[in-house]
A and B are shown apart, each in its own frame.
Chain A
Amino acid sequence: DSGVTQTPKHLITATGQRVTLRCSPRSGDLSVYWYQQSLDQGLQFLIQYYNGEERAKGNILERFSAQQFPDLHSELNLSSLELGDSALYFCASSVAARDTQYFGPGTRLTVL
């Protein structure tokens, strides 16, 4: 158990819909990262927050957004969903930048 929690575990929705994925980092970790893993692909970095502020953006679509709240949990919002958005979405946390990242179990999103 990494100490990072993600909810929900599974999510099935339809094209055009909007969903919110939630992540609670390990106690004491200030950095939160979001990754997307499509079928048999590597981990694609989406976005990073540090203590509530956006620190870095990767290959994140404009239809996607994220935020980190004062209690340090983070949410990833995916809107106007397309079939190609079906993937595993991982959240990771670390104490500080470039520290080891600890990953949550992921949310499997299926868009029908």
Chain B
Amino acid sequence: DQQVKQNSPSLSVQEGRISILNCDYTNSMFDYFLWYKKYPAEGPTFLISISSIKDKNEDGRFTVFLNKSAKHLSLHIVPSQPGDSAVYFCAASGDNYGQNFVFGPGTRLSVLP
């Protein structure tokens, strides 16, 4: 049973436009969420996080939105750049899940020049 879902395996966006990556979760006890970016042959790198006490967190070109009632979060990248082409993982954690993060399967973003 996948507790964190990223239903789009891949996404293509034109350079300069907005990229929107989506993540849904099923466990209502999750209260802390992170996004990671992964290039081929490298480990994932942390991008941005959000706690359930907020509904938005921004860091430069990256903004994460959290809709707790819908159990949905999204990562917006504006403007998208070719260097953003990577696999993006959503991860969630909650007190009832111990000290672990549950990762989604990832979405491969391709930013076309």
Contacts and interface: CB of A to CB of B under 8 A. Distances in A.
A102 B41 CA distance: 15
Interface in B30-88: 32, 34, 36, 41-46, 49
The range of chain A's interface size is: 20 to 34
Interface of A: 2, 4, 31, 33, 35, 41-45, 48, 50, 55-56, 58, 90, 92, 97-98, 100-106
Given A42-B89, A42-B106, A100 B34 contact: yes
Interface residues on B, range: 20 to 34
Identify the interface centre among B100, B103, B104: most chain A CB within 10 Å of its CB: B100
26 contacts: A41-B105, A42-B89, A42-B104, A42-B105, A43-B89, A45-B102, A45-B103, A55-B98, A55-B99, A56-B98, A56-B99, A90-B44, A97-B99, A98-B93, A98-B99, A98-B101, A100-B34, A101-B46, A102-B45, A103-B36, A103-B43, A103-B44, A104-B43, A105-B43, A106-B41, A106-B43
